[in-house]
Structure 1
Amino acid sequence: MADERLFRLKIITPDRVFYEGDASMVELKTSEGEIGVYANHIPLTTILAPGVVKITEPEGMKQAALYSGFVEILKDKVTILAEVAEWPEEIDINRAKEAKIRAERRLSSNESGIDELRAEMALRRALTRIELGRK
């Protein structure tokens, strides 16, 4: 008999199935704030925000960086469709720091025509990479 405290978690990006396994909890950032999901959660579909996802497995915890997408939560399954997902060892911390500097410059400049939302998202992605890359 299956453990009812576990649910199936699948994280999919456009180029791969990033993660697939059983989890007892997943914590992630949504457009409405951070949420934690256990088995038997009420059904919910929400928008993913850039941040660190924490996956609690029977063997321990894993962390990864996720950037924009959608999350579907069902009673026994959670599916995350992410634009990009990265394990800590896949992150180039120097490149993330350079991206942070570029995004901050764009946001602080008074240039007309700058896409402020795009620059803010670039900054969030860089900060997430830096946060996870340091662990």
Structure 2
Amino acid sequence: MEGLRLDIVTPDKVVLNAEVDYVGAEGVDGQFGLLPQHAPMLTALKVGDLYYRQGSETHWVFVSGGFAQISDNKVTILAESAELASSIDVERAKAAKARAEQRLADPKADFDVQRAELALARAIARIRVASR
């Protein structure tokens, strides 16, 4: 059976080019899974994790929003940012989580709440992906 070509690209770099058997991710409308011969599809991604399987191995990637395009056995992830689980600096992510929680806990602080909530979601997702 022919596999899937998975390309994960950010504005700064190509994060991954690989032949895979399966891709799972979380779109804005919920989780989805992709096997070879999947129908063409375009969907927005949530901040969170993406995983792919190569044989019996499962690999995890942090994805910060973006889009997934599926066509002709090719999955292209166009993400604002993305990191392989092995590349995530967990201590940095924990520090970012603490900063975001501190900002959100201070009712007198003058800051962008939506930005702090997004920073918190990214930090939590990075920590989760790194722990897998």
Q: TM-score by structure 1 length?
A: 0.87
Q: 2:24 aligns with which of 20, 27, 37?
A: 27
Counterpart of 1:84 in structure 2: which amino acid?
S
Q: 1:126 aligns with which of 123, 127, 130?
A: 123
Task: Provide the residue aligned with 1:83 in structure 2.
Answer: 80
**Aligned residue pairs, count:** 132
| Per-residue deviation, residues 39-94 of structure 1 (Å, max 9, x unmatched) | 12222111111112111113622111111111111241110011111122221111
Counterpart of 2:87 in structure 1: which amino acid?
E
- Structure 1 gaps, min length 5: none
Contact 2:6 2:75 in 1 (8 A): yes
Aligned-pair CA distance for 1:106 = 2.2
Counterpart of 2:63 in structure 1: which amino acid?
L
Aligned-pair CA distance for 1:113 = 5.3
- Structure 2 gaps, min length 5: none
1:57-72 aligned at under 5 Å gives the runs 57-58=54-55, 60-72=57-69
| Per-residue deviation, residues 108-132 of structure 1 (Å, max 9, x unmatched) | 3324753222112111110011112
1:43-62 aligned at under 5 Å gives the runs 43-58=40-55, 60-62=57-59
Counterpart of 1:16 in structure 2: which amino acid?
K
Deviates more, 1:114-123 or 1:11-20: 114-123
1:90-129 aligned at under 5 Å gives the runs 90-111=87-108, 114-129=111-126
Counterpart of 2:76 in structure 1: which amino acid?
T
Partner Cα separation in structure 2 for residue 128 and residue 30 of structure 1: 14
Partner Cα separation in structure 2 for residue 31 and residue 107 of structure 1: 24
Task: Provide the residue aligned with 1:14 in structure 2.
Answer: 11
Q: TM-score by structure 2 length?
A: 0.88
Contact 2:40 2:71 in 1 (8 A): yes
CA-atom RMSD, angstroms?
1.7
Partner Cα separation in structure 1 for residue 5 and residue 62 of structure 2: 19
